[in-house]
Amino acid sequence: MTDVLAVADHRRGELRDVSYEVITAGRQLADDTGGDLHVAVISGTVDKFGEKLNREGVDAVHTVDHGEEFNHDVYTQVLTQLYDDLAPQYVLAPNSVNGLDYAPAVANALDLPIVTDTVGLETDGETLVATREMYGGKVEVTTELEGTAVATIRGAEWSGAEGTGDASIEAFDAEIDEDAVGSTVTGFEEVGGGDVDISEADVLVSVGRGIEEEENLEIIHELADALDATVSSSRPIVDSGWLPKNRQVGQSGKVVTPDVYIAIGISGAVQHVAGMKGSDTIVAINTDPNAPIMDIADYAIHDDLFDVVPALTEEFGG
Ligand SMILES: Cc1cc2nc3c(=O)[nH]c(=O)nc-3n(C[C@H](O)[C@H](O)[C@H](O)COP(=O)(O)OP(=O)(O)OC[C@H]3O[C@@H](n4cnc5c(N)ncnc54)[C@H](O)[C@@H]3O)c2cc1C
């Protein structure tokens, strides 16, 4: 067994970025083991997804046409059957809401060890060496799994696979035992309401406790409008009920990778940085030059946000 099976993730008719990241992680492992990289996409508009997943480094894409929505039991049955068919060394899934739903069930059904939320994967002979973060990213630990294993990967830790490959795209004819499908997904609702997905935004205007009062958020929304950007925040803003939970960036919020991340009155605690360190360009506006966010910022503006933000809005909105 040397092959790798990577599982794509999709939501509301679109493949999620982590689908291309799991391809990169899978290709690296397949290079280590000298095997092929298989990619599975289950449910959704599988023909469209199959073409998109044919990226450089993919040897085969297996599409399973089974309804539009994610279903725990269907995913678990399909992946155990694909595993029996392909006999991969490793099964990789995104560490997403869906991935964390089915990956443990697949590992359990196949009696395989599982490691979740990995930020690095390599092999040492027959051993999978997985890196994970603990204590809010303050320490890294390695976990070693012997033989065949299941792993989930954290979003934005691997780059997304690019280029078009020459993979075979095959429909996999899974036999679904409908009697064993005990759950039905009737729709998708974003936590906290609204349909904004900050993880898909190109530009994020992110606000922290430095904003002081809920009424002051107005200047943040005005800047976001001027930049055609999306508003996100640190956790205290969500805890105060000033923005819904789906706007929170960080360890207990969302992982984001925008082109530009503007951190306004955010100190840069490890739990926050865990969610935004993959941003291409980080701009920080903070009165404290020693705030940790200033160390990771590409542009650190050491000034009062109540002066800087309106000035930026005027500059970009005018
Ligand atoms: C288990 C756990 C999970 C967590 N998960 C998350 C998470 O997912 N996301 C998250 O964000 N946090 C998370 N936290 C909380 C985290 O530890 C921090 O408390 C939080 O990120 C701090 O938010 P902040 O930067 O907005 O506030 P603060 O740390 O209070 O920083 C406010 C900043 O604003 C600056 N400032 C003040 N006034 C101005 C002004 N007028 N102009 C410019 N700058 C100004 C200050 O200098 C300061 O740097 C978690 C904590 C734990 C324990």
Nearest CA to ligand 1 atom 23: 234
DSSP per residue, 6-44: EE--EETTEE-THHHHHHHHHHHHHHHHT--EEEEEESS
Instruction: Specify the pLDDT at position 1.
Output: 75
Residue 130: predicted pLDDT: 98
Kindly give the distance from the C-alpha atom of residue 161 to the centroid of ligand 1, in angstroms, as a whole number: 33
pTM: 0.78
Ligand 1 atom closest to the CA of 285, numbered from 1: 43
Does residue 15 or residue 155 have the better pLDDT?
A: 15
Whether 260 and 288 share a structural domain: yes
Q: Check whether 11 has a pLDDT greater than 80.
A: yes
Domain count, the chain: 2
Q: How far is the CA of 228 from the centre of ligand 1 (A)?
A: 24
Q: What is the pLDDT of residues 65-103, one digit of tens each?
A: 998 889 999 999 999 999 999 999 999 999 998 999 999
Residue 190: its pLDDT value, please?
64
Look at residue 189 and tell me if it is in a domain.
Answer: no
pLDDT in tens, 134-143: 876 778 999 9
Nearest CA to ligand 1 atom 7: 250
Cα 213 to middle of ligand 1, angstroms: 14
pLDDT band at 318 (very low <50, low <70, confident <90, very high): low
- Residue 138 belongs to what domain range? 4-180
Question: What CATH number is given to the structural domain containing 301?
Answer: 3.40.50.1220
Which residue type, as a one-letter code, is found at position 256? V
> Residue 65 — left, alpha, or beta (φ > 0 → left; ψ -120 to 50 → alpha)?
beta
Residue 236 near ligand 1, beta carbon < 6 Å:
yes
Element (H, E) at 54: none
Residues 135 and 48 placed together within one structural domain of the fold: yes
Confidence of residue 12 (pLDDT cuts 50, 70, 90): confident
- Domain assignment of residue 191, yes or no: no
- For residue 53, tell me if it sits in a domain: yes
Instruction: Among 154, 180, 206, give the residue marking a domain's end.
Output: 180
Q: Is the CB of 35 under 6 A from ligand 1?
A: no
Give domain status of residue 15, yes or no: yes
Protein residue closest via CA to atom 43 of ligand 1: 286
Q: Amino acid identity of 124?
A: D
Average pLDDT of the chain to the nearest whole number: 94
pLDDT band at residue 194, thresholds of 50, 70 and 90?
low
- How many Å lie between the centroid of ligand 1 and the Cα of residue 200? 22
Q: Which atom of ligand 1 is nearest to the CA of 291?
A: 49
Q: Is the CB of 239 under 6 A from ligand 1?
A: no
Whether residue 159 sits in one domain with residue 26: yes
Same domain, 20 and 157: yes
Residue 41 alpha carbon to ligand 1 centre in Å: 38
Task: Return the CATH number at 66.
Answer: 3.40.50.620
Q: What is the pLDDT of residue 155?
A: 86
250 Cβ closer than 6 Å to some ligand 1 atom: yes
Residue 279's CB: how many other CB atoms inside 10 A?
A: 23
Ligand 1 pocket test: pick from 256, 271, 306, 312 the residue with the most ligand atoms within 8 Å of its Cβ: 271
> Which is nearest to 264 in space by CA: 246, 243, 102, 15?
243
Task: Report how far residue 177's alpha carbon sits from residue 181's, in angstroms, rounded to the nearest whole number.
Answer: 7
Burial of residue 131, with CB atoms counted within 10 A of its CB: 0-12 exposed, 13-18 middle, 19 or more buried: middle
Question: What is the reported pLDDT for 192?
Answer: 59
How far apart are the CA of 139 and the centre of ligand 1, in A?
A: 20
164, 206: one domain: no
Say if 249 falls within a structural domain.
yes
- For residue 274, give both structure tokens: 């865990």
The pLDDT, as a whole number, for residue 292 is: 97
For residue 267, how far is its CA from the centre of ligand 1 (angstroms)? 5
Q: How far apart are CA 95 and CA 192, in angstroms?
A: 21
What is the 207 CA–ligand 1 centroid distance (Å)?
9
pLDDT in tens, 213-255: 999 999 999 999 999 999 999 999 999 999 999 999 998 899 8
**Same domain, yes or no: 165 and 210:** no
Do both 121 and 230 map to the same domain? no
Rounded CA-CA distance 197/191 in Å is 10
Do 208 and 294 sit in the same domain of this protein?
yes
- CA 40 to chain CA centroid, nearest Å: 17
